[in-house]
Amino acid sequence: MDIQLKKGLLDAIVLAAVKKGDVYGYKLLQDVLTVIEVSESTLYPILRRLETQGCLQTYQQQHDGRLRKYYSITKSGELKLKEYRQQCLELANIINFIFQ
């Protein structure tokens, strides 16, 4: 897949995955990998940026004696995801046109 198109979709994929329920980083990476190939070094900056933008919030929770950082989607993140979904519908129309 073209790297620019992939970059454009990663935020939407991350927000959609987190919307399904609060999740820690490694689990989120595994969920995202079922859809698109991405590395940890790519995912974590996206998470930090989405958090800085107010789309995600974090909290820490103990698990097996270690603290895990969990991500949850905010109202702002839900609105951003809605925008991404609309853009994806527009992209789907373009793709359908190309393959007709």
Q: Where are the domains of the chain?
A: 3-98
Q: What torsion do the CA atoms of 77, 44, 31, 75 make, to the nearest 10 degrees?
A: -10
Stated pTM of the model: 0.89
Q: What is the identity of the amino acid at 40?
A: E
CATH code: domain 3-98 is: 1.10.10.10
Per-residue pLDDT reduced to its tens digit, 12-33: 999 999 999 999 999 999 999 9
Residue with tokens 């930090």: 48
Q: How many residues does the chain have?
A: 100
**53-66 pLDDT per residue, tens:** 999 999 999 989 99
